[in-house]
Each structure stands twice: as structure tokens, then as C-alpha cells.
A and B are shown apart, each in its own frame.
Chain A
Amino acid sequence: MREALFNLTWLIPLFPLLAFALIILWTHPSRKWSTWVAWIGIGLAWLLGWTMFFLSWGDIHHLTPPEGNHPVPLWALPTGGSVLKIGFQIDTLTALMLFMVPFVCLMIFVYSKGYMGYGTEHPDPRYSRFFAYISLFACGMLGLVVSDNLLTLFIFWEIMGLCSYLLIGFWYDKSYPDPNRITPRQAGLKAFLTTRVGDVIMLIGLLLLYSQVGSLSFKDVFSQETLHMLAEQELWMPIFGTAPVATVIAILIFGGAVGKSAQFPLHVWLPDAMEGPTPVSALIHAATMVSAGVYLVARCFPLFMAVPLDHGGVQLAVVAFIGAFTALAASTIALAQNDVKRVLAYSTISQLGYMIAALGIGAYVAAVFHLITHAFFKALLFLGSGSVIHGVEHGHHKIAHGHHDHEEGHFDPNDMMNMGGLMNKMPRTAWTFIIGGGALAGIVPLAGFWSKDEILAHAWHEFQHTQHFGTFWPLFVWLLLTVAAALTAFYTARQICLTFLGEPRTEAARHAHESPPSMTWPLMILAFFAVILGLFGTPWANQYHELVGEAFAATPFDPFVAGLSTVLAVGGAVCGWLVYGRAPLRAGQVDPLKRWLGPVHGVLENKYYVDELYRLIVIRPVLRLAELCAKFDYDWVINRLVNTIGQLSIRTAERLGGLDLAVVDGTVNLVGRAARGLSTLSNTVDLKGVDGAVNGIGHVVKAGGRQMRTLQSGWVQDYLLLAVTMAIILLGFMLLVLPILR
């Protein structure tokens, strides 16, 4: 019976996939049917997922990875010398993910019905398409967690990447009057491209792994012999010198996780992903996309553990450092954000940093624990914020309908400065949000406290007791994470106070009202889980440890750490209340934090200018390179080379001049302005995103090289000249230079 059920694993991702296909092909004209198809798809996946979970709980000893798992082979692909086997599997980590993913997805699906305006006068015009996309998204995540090999995992990983692009850019026709504000279409593209950077790195890692092991299935890759072999072998790289192969592969795979889980330096896409509909944000931030990165590292944890630090295995140190740094940096940025969803976005990045850092110091169980609890309370917070936005927006519509002359420019329903005093208008949303916030801040005894505490305790324990890791790293991680914990409590309190306490600061907030039951019920259910989930992971009776952590020693309870983090959490929250809650902001009043922090606040508000930096050092050179190569083909005539070099240098000089001006001018928005002043090119990137940039390059090429284009192009002898000259150069090189080189 149990075996037979486990053999049905492949159905779990199939149900949402079928729902996707059904909606796209047949039911899309009917909102009602599309809703039901999507619900039934994820609902069946949920039922099956929980069945698997509870079955696994009774069967822990047979399912502990890597040896013990239940394989469901599917497909074999011969690749020349070897055969690539593909299939699904169930083990304890998968089972735990199956507890979380389909359930949170189900809650989000239910909530989406109300959020996308089902049954109202203005349902979203692409309502059915939305349900199709999120079904595919759920399919991607579910397929990822049940994969038994890195190749299918990667394929589902890419499906999620595609869906994230489609969903973040769901309102692709939306634009803002402020040209600097990112539009949904650009945000989708940004998410897709940024995560792809990580994906490419990961793919290289997978290729390297495959070339070394000849297999990508977890069972083969994480077997003791293979890991031993990978740890023994050394790989020479041009700049870094030699390192164990396992280290190189682990770091490359971690690159994928950095992209998907939005860790520094690839975190930039996640805050902008807020441009998608709120259920999507919840989906990305809680149940699926970002968890996938952490899941990947957890899944590959044996590989990360394969080489100890004193044998050159720096991979865990890298993981720990990036995680801890991200956790702290993101929590500081969150302090200065006013968009209610952006605060949550940075808190997600920060909490993901916690998990990654936890994995980096070896706190495997704590990381997985935090992954689960975080998924629940973060989904709750996002859906709550969506409810708030929904309410405020409706309030705005109501007054806009009342008097038409009321339009005072663009109204932003996401801005917390436009809210306030919503506690009375939306009590259910408010209370569930406060519970979620408490869990995030780590208030006893809510879920977040226990998982966070276990991470901190582990770091402290590691610092005190272990030698092999060096003594510095755990302390460093512990310090960063503790500070981040205090900041988290502070900005959560700030957010709650700004949103729910005091008096409404706008008319829209004054007219807000509670959301429909299909939205508030998921909130209450998630709130329930946000309260109780932590109780299964208390240091005294840690069920998570029993489930996934057989191979790891339990972390003892440390009253010092628990006490300190409680004090910090409560202290942070109280500080937040003192600043924002005791004397609530009135309309038009400046954020006190801005006054106190001065210029630092500007830096935080602009997210440390990382986006601008990327524009300067990545996007622009790439575009320039493309432009250059195009010119190579358009304008390849040697006798015009001189001309071209002259023009290029003149233009470079102009650009440099522009840079100088911008530096002198810009004292506040230094880099942002420089990037814009640098060239029309990057300006176009700003305005229209990558797609616009493609046209933009065309424009620049046309403007810059108009006379050259009219002179050349389409002239076959020109092509021949290039071909013959290149052939002669190659021949000369091979005859005269290569023998010398040999």
C-alpha cells in the first residue's frame, strides 16, 4: 500500500501541469471553470503531498537520504558513453517540502480568486491566464522537490524561471508616470535575466559534476565513494589555482542558489519582483522560487560537506559569509523602504540569508526548519499586505468615483505613507498580519522564534565547541545574524505601526474596507500555522530533527542565546513602537528615521546603489560589446578602420566628459545620475528595459554610424575581402606562429 502510494509521486507535479494545460487550451473563456480547475489541480497535489508526508513520517528510517529513498524511475537518455537516468523520488527532505509547498500554494490559489477580482465589476482581464501560470509555477516547484537527479531538478528550476518572468511581468501593459520606476515588464525580464546568470553558473557546475561522476542522480552523486573521489581530486583553474573538485562544483551549484534565492550579489531582482500581482509575490517569496535555492543547497549538502575547510574546502565558508552578509545588508535596507511589499521583500532576502548562513555553518536542520516556518509566515505576511493594498485601492476607487476632480497625480496604494489606522477598517487582516510580523520578528512562542533561535544557537555552539571550522566564522555569522534579528524586529514593528496604527493619512485609507472571505480565510489558516509550527521544533522535542536530521547532532538549548535574541527581538519591536507607534505619523510628516540617519538613509533607500553599479559595470559594457561586434560586421572595411577609431575615441571622450559633469553635479543620486548622464544608451535601458535597449542599440548604431552604414553593407566584395584576408591571416598564423608556439 505504502509502496504503491509512493510510486504515484510523479502525479504530484502532473496535476498542476494538467490544470495549466486545461486552462490554456479549454477553460480560459470561463473564469469560474479556470478557478476550479486550478484549485482542483493544486488541491489534488496537496492531498497527495500530505499523504506522502505523513506516510514518510511513519517510515523515517527507510527514507533518510542519500541511501534511503524511494525511487520512481522514469526515463533514460543515453549520452554517448553513459546513460542519463531520470526519475522522481521520495525521501525525508522531499517529504517535508511536500508538507509545505502544496499547502501554501493552495492557500495562495484560494486567495487569488478574491485578489484577482472574481465576481466583482472589474475582474482582471487576464484572470484565467493568471491561474494557468500559477499552476505551471506550482508544477515547477513540486517537480523540483520530487526530482531524483540534478538534471530534472534543473529543468523544473528553469520552468520556474520562465513562470517567474511571465508572472512578475503579468501586468506587462502597466506603466508609471515616473520613468525611473521599474515597470512590471522590465521587472519580469530583470528577474529572468538575473536568475539566469546564476543558472548558467549552476549549469557549468552540473556539467563539471557530470563529467566527473558520469551521473547526475542524487543517489550516485552523494554516495560516499563519489564524494570521497570528488574531495580527493584536484582541479586547476587559471586564477584561483588548485582546489578540490567538490569545492568547485559546490560553489558553482551555490551560484544557482544565489540567483534563485536572491542572495548578494544577485539579489537585485527580488524587490522588483514586487511588480507582479501580490499572490505571485507570496508564491515566489514563500512557497516556491526562493525556497528552491535553499532547497538546492540543502539537497546538495553532502557535497558541501565533502571537503573540510582545512583541506581547501572553502565552499561552506563562502556560503556562510554570503548568507550572513545578505541577512544583515537586506535588513538594513528594509529599514528605509516605504513600499509595504518592498519591506517584506527585503525581509525575505534577509531571512533567506539566515537559512543560507545556517547551512554554511552546518546547521542543516535549523535551516530546513526555518525554511518551513518562514514559508508559512511569509506567505501570511504577503497575502496580508495584498489584502491591505486591495483594501486601500478600493478605498481609492471609491473616492475617485465620488468626485472626479480628486485626482492628485498618481496614487500609490503600496506606499505605507498613504496608509495608517487600518486596524479598525480591516481587523482580520490586521490581526493576522501582526501574528505574522511577530513570527518574523522572532517573538516567543511564535514559529519564527524557534527556528531563528536554533540557527543562532547553532552558530554560538559552533563557535564555542568546534575546531575544524576555525573559530572566527561562526562568531562572525552569529554576530551578523543577531544584529539582523534586532533590525528585523524593528522594521517589522515600523511596518505594523505605519500600516495599522494611528490615523489614516489619506482619504483612500479612510475608505478602505475588509477584503472578501476568500482572501481572509487563507490568512487565518496561515496565521494558525504561523503560531503552531514552531512548537514542533522546540529544542526539547524537535520533530524536524527527527525527520530530516538523523545524520546530524542536535543543537543543545542555550539560554544565553535564547535570552539575548528574545531581548533583542522584543527590544527592537519596542523601539519600533516607540518611534512609530506611540506618536503615529500624520499625513505629510517625514519619517523620523530619515532625520536621524541623514545621508545613510539615502544610501539605504537606494539599496546601496547595487542596481546602478550593475548598470555601470555589466549592462553597459555588454551592450557596447554587442554594438561593437555589430559594427564589425556592418562596417568591416579596413580602409575605414582609421575613421572608425577616430570616431570611437571622439565619442569616448564625449562620454568621459559627461561622466565628469555628472560627478560634479550629482551629490545625492551620484551613481544613478552618472549612469544616466553617461549615454543615451543606458538611459534607454532605464526607460524601456532590455527590450528597449535592443532597439536603443540600433538607434545608437544608426545615429553614430549612419554614414558608415550607407557607404558599406550589402557589398559582396567587402565580404570576400574579409573572408580572404582572414583566411590568409589564419594561414600565416598556422604556418609561421604556431610552430614557434609549440
Chain B
Amino acid sequence: MVPLSWYLMVSAALFCLGIFGVLARRNAVAILMGTELMLNAANINLVAFWRHLRPDVMSGQVFTLMVFVVAAAEAAVGLALCIAIYSSRGTVVVEDMDLLKG
């Protein structure tokens, strides 16, 4: 059986990759992909903890399903926003969005 800490290490690494993506990508859609990575990292944690701590209680798996739902909802709204911005400005590069500042 694979030890719990292995899963956690992979999850932590994926989470930090996600953070890097969110902070460093120029394109808003790419940033969204970064958040997807972070959510997946959290999911790995949840399922791994569920399996290793209390597999008889299903809360970990239910939580994971909720995260799926949230990821879908966020993706829908986020991509809609990207498309709206794109249709008015012709770009989704976050650095170019500086109407609001100060």
C-alpha cells in the first residue's frame, strides 16, 4: 500500500504548480487552468485522507464531488467572463486589464 505521505507530497507539488500557474501566466484561460490544478491537488488530499483515516465515513468523497461541481461552475462563469472581455477588447491577457487601478 502506498503511504499517505506520498499522496500528500504529490498533491503539494501539484498545488504549488497551480499557484505558479495562477501567478505567472499571462492568459486568463491559462490562469483558470492553474486554479484547476489547485483544486485537483485538494481533491487528491481529500481522497487520500478519506482512504487512510476513516474510509467508513463518506465525507471525503462527498467533498470531492462538491469540488467537481464547484470546478465546473467556476469554469463556466470564468470562461464566460473571458469571452465577454475578449469580445470587447480582443484580448484576454490579464496584464492589459488596467482600466481599474490606484
- Number of B positions contacting A (CB below 8 A): 13
- Asked if A714 is at the interface of the complex by the 8 Å CB criterion, the answer is yes
Chain B nearest CB: distance from A689 CB in Å?
24
Is B31's CB under 8 angstroms from A714's CB? no
| Residues of A close to B31: CB separation below 8 A | 717
- The answer to the question of B22 belonging to the interface, with a C-beta cut-off of 8 Å to chain A, is yes
Closest residue of chain A to B102 (Cβ to Cβ) is A713
**A721 to B21 Cα, complex, angstroms:** 11
At the interface with chain A, which of B5-13, B51-59, B91-99? B91-99
B17 sits at the interface (CB 8 A): no
| B11, chain A: closest CB distance, angstroms | 17
Q: Say whether A617 faces chain B, with CB atoms less than 8 Å apart.
A: no
Bound together, the chains give a CA A724 to CA B19 distance in angstroms of 8
Q: Per-residue 0/1 for A694-728: is the Cβ within 8 Å of any B Cβ (1 yes, 0 no)?
A: 00000000000000010011111100110010000
| Chain A, 552-574, CB within 8 A of any chain B CB | none
0/1 interface trace, chain B 64-102, chain A, CB 8 Å (1 if under): 000000000000000000000000000000110111111
The number of A-B residue pairs with CB atoms under 8 Å apart is 31
* In the bound complex, CA of A715 to CA of B101 (Å): 8
Residues of chain A within 8 A (CB-CB) of B97 are 714-716
A634 at the interface (CB under 8 A from B): yes
A720-B22, A724-B23 known; A715-B94 Cβ under 8 A: yes
Could you mark each residue 1-42 of chain B with 1 if its beta carbon is under 8 Å from any beta carbon of chain A, else 0?
Answer: 000000000000000000100111000000100000000000
Contact of B23 among A634, A713, A721 (CB under 8 A): A721
Contact B101 A717 (CB under 8 A): no
Would you call B100 and A714 a contact (CB within 8 A)?
A: yes
Q: Are B98 and A714 in contact (CB-based, < 8 A)?
A: yes
Q: Smallest Cβ distance from B9 to chain A, in angstroms?
A: 18
Chain B residues, CB < 8 A from A712: 101
Look across to chain A and name the residue whose beta carbon is closest to the beta carbon of B100: A714
Are the C-beta atoms of A634 and B102 separated by less than 8 Å?
A: yes
How far apart sit A720 and B18, CA to CA, in the bound complex (Å)?
A: 13
Q: How distant is the Cα of A60 from the Cα of B99 in the complex, in angstroms?
A: 72
Q: Nearest-CB distance from B10 to chain A (Å)?
A: 20
B94 touches A716 (CB 8 A): yes
Shortest Cβ distance from residue B59 to the other chain A in the assembled complex, whole angstroms: 25
Say how far A283's CB is from chain B's closest CB, in angstroms: 43
Contact A713 B22 (CB under 8 A): no
In the complex, the answer to whether B22 meets A714 with C-beta atoms within 8 Å is no
CB distance B102 to A720 under 8 Å? no
CA distance A714 to B94 in the complex (A): 9
B-side contacts of A724, CB under 8 Å: 19, 23
A634 contacts which chain B residues (CB < 8 A)? 102
Residues 720-741 (chain A) with a chain B CB within 8 angstroms: 720-721, 724
**Residues on B with beta carbons closer than 8 Å to the beta carbon of A714:** 97-102
Q: Which A residues, 594 to 619, have Cβ-Cβ distances below 8 Å to chain B?
A: none
Note all chain A residues with C-beta closer than 8 A to B95.
Answer: 715, 717
Q: Contact at B22–A715, with CB atoms within 8 Å?
A: no
Instruction: Give every chain A residue within 8 A of B22 (Cβ-Cβ).
Output: 717, 720
Q: Closest Cβ of chain A: how far from B84's Cβ, in Å?
A: 16
How distant is B100 from chain A, measured CB to nearest CB, in Å?
Answer: 5
Q: Are A713 and B98 in contact (CB under 8 A)?
A: yes
Task: Give Cα A720 to B98, complex, Å.
Answer: 15
- CB-CB nearest in chain B for A716: B94
How far does the alpha carbon of A177 sit from the alpha carbon of B65 in the complex, in Å? 74
> With the chains together, A715 CA to B98 CA distance in Å?
6
A576 to chain B, nearest CB (A): 59
CA distance in complex: A713, B100 (Å): 8
Q: Report the separation of the CA atoms of residues A716 and B27 in the bound assembly, to the nearest whole angstrom.
A: 12
Question: How far apart sit A709 and B102, CA to CA, in the bound complex (Å)?
Answer: 8
B95 to chain A, nearest CB (A): 6
Bound Cα distance A632, B47 (Å): 41
B92 to chain A, nearest CB (A): 12
Q: Whose C-beta in chain A lies nearest to the C-beta of B19? A: A724
Q: A709 contacts which chain B residues (CB < 8 A)?
A: 101-102
Q: Which residues of A contact B101 (CB under 8 A)?
A: 709, 712-715
Q: Which residues of the other chain, A, contact B99 by a CB distance below 8 angstroms?
A: 714
Alpha-carbon distance between A165 and B14 when the two chains are bound, in angstroms: 60
Docked-complex contact A717 and B94, CB < 8 angstroms: yes
A616 CB to nearest chain B CB (Å) = 30
Name the CB-closest residue of B to A721: B23
List which A414-469 residues lie within 8 A (CB) of chain B.
none
| In the complex, chain A residues whose CB is within 8 Å of the CB of B19 | 724
| Residues of A with C-beta under 8 A to B98 | 713-715
* Shortest beta-carbon contacts, A-B, top 8: A714-B101, A713-B101, A714-B98, A714-B100, A721-B23, A717-B23, A715-B95, A720-B23
Given A709-B101, A716-B97; 7 other pairs, CB 8 A cutoff: A712-B101, A714-B99, A714-B101, A717-B24, A717-B31, A724-B19, A724-B23
B→A interface (CB under 8 Å): 19, 22-24, 31, 94-95, 97-102
- What would 6 A/B residue contacts be, using CB atoms closer than 8 Å? A713-B101, A714-B97, A715-B101, A716-B97, A717-B24, A720-B23
